[in-house]
Structure 1
Amino acid sequence: MNDDTIHFDEMPSPVGPLRLVADARGLRQIWFETERHPKRASPDWVRSPAALAFARVQLEEYFAGTRTQFELPLHPQGTTFQLAVWRELGRIPYAATISYGELARRIGQARAMRAVGAANGRNPLPIVVPCHRVIGANGSLTGFGGGLPTKRYLLALEQRIAHGDLFDRDERRALL
């Protein structure tokens, strides 16, 4: 890849089409079709399935339940604070959840729960940097850029895989 070229591609997923964006240093963004903060591809970007194959394969493995940890070069763009929040998001184990307050404590900013929530909401690499694993202090599902049904799906997928149940209830009923 040319160092200043931005590559993109789209892939189907169980949560709807995903747009993948990368540069020579790594994956920069993953967009849901129905974003809370919609984005547009720049006319300078180059559609390149080959350049995004590295990310697509791992995302497909994640959705198939055969990958629980991503091993991708990442190159998110954000402030120093946002990058600290996103780095900590990456440390949340597969199928685990934490609260916004716990996330704030983990980055040494216990009083910055709102700022942590805002940084979480601006995470450019959902799924790979698992912002869906952050929930309300009372266990409730809170906002998610891909929508609450997507967050619910991702958390349920991880729980099923972590507990060895490859089918969700509806899929099991269909098989019986």
Structure 2
Amino acid sequence: LENQEIWESVTYFNAALPIQPWYKVAIHNIPTSFYTNESLATLKSEISTFNKGFEIVGNPYWLTKEDRRREQQTGSVCIAFATEQEAQRAIHNKLYLLGISVKVEKMHSTPASTQCQNCQCFGHTEERCSNGIAYKICAEPHLTRLHRCNTCSTKGRTCLHTVPVCVNCKGAHTADNRL
């Protein structure tokens, strides 16, 4: 091993601890003007203070990007609990913030590689899609099964006349092509 004496002195730990699972929930209708990225720590302490028996682990984070939140009055934040029981209690009983109860639901994490069959975008499923419909082959606003060729009347699939267009990058390939 090269430079062993250098990298051995950089080791920051001497024991591995088991990773404890976190139970994530999404809380909705959080005022975007009140809670900025910097003040989400305030939200964390408010939940613990005004909702007895709840202890948040980790740091809360917004579920939408900052530029999108600028256009919204409220948004959704992800928080995590150490136990499944706390998460379930929050879902069933709601949480109180700013003197009002806020809706809580189980966090549905979707890998970035998941492709929606409704809009063809990535990072969500059709059940949670809020975008318009897009055909995966021509990027037109219709479902794949409703696509019809104007030349030969082939329906629901590609034909010799089909010119693919990706709805995501506008490239000359289908939206589900793994380049």
Q: TM-score, normalised by structure 1?
A: 0.24
More contact order relative to length (CA 8 Å, sep ≥ 6): 1
Instruction: Answer with 1 or 2: which has the greater Rg.
Output: 2
Q: Would you tell me which structure has more strand in proportion to its own residues? A: 2
Q: Would you tell me which structure has more helix in proportion to its own residues? A: 1
